[in-house]
Amino acid sequence: MADNKIFLSEKDIPQKWYNVQADMKNKLLPPLKPDGKPAGPEDFAPVFPMEIIKQEMSQERWIEIPDEVREAFKVWRPSPLQRAVNLEKALKTPARIYFKNEAVSPAGSHKLNTALPQAYYNKKQGIEKLVTETGAGQWGSAIAFASQKFGLQCEVYMVKISFEQKPYRRILMQTWGATIYASPTNRTNAGRNVLAKDPKSLGSLGIAISEAVEAAVTGKNSRYCLGSVLNHVCMHQSIIGLETEMQLKIAGEKKPDIIIGCVGGGSNFAGIAFPFIPRKMKGEDITLLGVEPSACPTLTRGPFRYDFGDEAKSMPLVKMYTLGHSFVPSGIHAGGLRYHGDSPILSQFVNEGLIQAKAYPQTPVFDAAVLFARTEGILPAPESAHAIKGAIDEAIKCRETKKEKCIVFCLSGHGHFDLGAYEAYLTGKLNDVNLDEAKLKEALAEVPVMDFKR
């Protein structure tokens, strides 16, 4: 029997990212400008560096990872794949449960996998400052670390509810040299507009994105960067699945039966799942399951249509599952899963039936988190706990049907900065907020009616 922890050596860090766009049967529909015309590279040039724009639209299957980025990865990569033997015992399941541990990165989540290449390409183009938003603070900390690594200044608009709930993430970002603002701020038009309507706004990822984009395009020699949703981000995260595939082989697994990830904007799930898409397309029986919170049920309750990625409509529209760009989810503790939209690639795969989606309320998610912490010893991020809950339910199904499946999930991050959420759970103060249908209808009414015919 193989070890419970499967390590690779530094030389095994993938040389290339996998770009699933090359293997899509139906190519993605283009991003659209508000006038309905496709947005081209020139529309993105004030926002992103050229290399990132190229990757965003690339149809090449494999894209070289620069040596400097692979070197930077060596601080924590390759990350271990671990078999959750103690969790299996507690569940009395015949299933084999593995988790890819992305919590071991310096920033504590998978987000550094894309923060480092993004900072690198900006630096290479001579950019001096990166501006971004952060929800729960994970993206902000990743980009703060990556910015100082490659010698860039870093400015972060942090969603106010997280700024208040998670001061330690802010301090971590500041330790790595970044400047942080609680969004909505009165530093931008986008922020001022929101505050005029609702001075007590707790903010949302959509609002913070608008502020960061505005600050980046109006600032001197600065660019914006995004930690999820976009194609290049999903591609950078493919390193998770590529390593997982090697590690499963070492563990003696012929194939994973089910791969699970939590979905905020879709990048960690894309990262672990997309490298298995070619095998699935060739007919291998591999289920890919994305798990989201029922308070922000984009894939399970949103329509698949063109919408803006941000509150102030400053970015082109993309076709995705969406709850509406003005949708502000309730203040659940999985702050990283509070985004109104999802990756267009992931959305299309869900629409085509290649990928499944499921939603859970936060109480059962925290039940799963605590069981995982007590069995495997790792305190998961509330976001990652959605994937754990998904994996536990699959493992219980295996117990009931006596099936020995190989279940793999992505542990996208640790929860060391989420102890306030754990306290709420442990003291019975956590409540499950059901998404109000009227609120959803209201937000969807603001989504423009738009489509693209090839």
Smaller CB separation from ligand PLP, 20 or 398 = 20
> Of 381, 385, 406, 447, which lies in the binding site for ligand PLP, with binding defined by CB under 6 A?
381
Q: How far is the CB of 130 from ligand PLP (least distance, A)?
A: 17
- State whether the Cα torsion 258-419-167-108 is positive or negative: negative
Contacts of 266 by beta carbon, 8 Å cutoff, 6+ apart: 228, 229, 234, 290, 342, 343, 345, 346, 347
Q: State how far the Cα of 308 lies from the Cα of 327, in Å rounded to an integer.
A: 11
Closer residue to ligand PLP in complex, CB, 333/405: 333
**Are 157 and 140 within 8 A, CB to CB?**
no
CB of 97 to ligand PLP, least distance (A): 18
- Give the torsion sign (CA, 294, 351, 318, 275): positive
Site for ligand PLP in 284-303 (CB under 6 A): none
**Which amino acid, residue 96?**
R
Nearest approach in angstroms of CB 228 to ligand PLP is 3
Q: Give me Rg for the CA atoms of the chain.
A: 20
- # chain residues binding ligand PLP, by CB under 6 A: 20
Helix boundaries (H) for 332-444:
344-351, 362-376, 382-401, 419-426, 437-444
Distance of alpha carbon 219 from alpha carbon 213, whole angstroms: 10
User: Judging by DSSP bridges, how do beta strands 222-224 and 258-262 pair with one another?
Assistant: unpaired
Q: Which is nearer to ligand PLP, 173 or 251 (CB)?
A: 173
- Interface of this chain with ligand PLP, residues 120 to 179, rule: CB under 6 A: 138-139
Residue nearest to ligand PLP (CB): 413
The correct pick among 191, 412, 421, 430 for binding ligand PLP (CB under 6 A) is: 412
Which residues from 33-52 bind ligand PLP, rule CB under 6 A? none
Q: Is 105 in the site for ligand PLP (CB under 6 A)?
A: no
Closest separation in Å from C-beta 236 to ligand PLP: 11
Considering only residues 312 to 371 of the shown chain, the ones binding ligand PLP according to CB under 6 A are: 336-337
Interaction pattern, residues 256-275, with ligand PLP; x per rule: CB under 6 A: ------xxxxxxxx------
| Residue 192 main-chain phi, psi, to 5 deg | -60, -40
Binding site for ligand PLP (CB under 6 A): 109, 111, 138-139, 228, 262-269, 336-337, 381, 383-384, 412-413
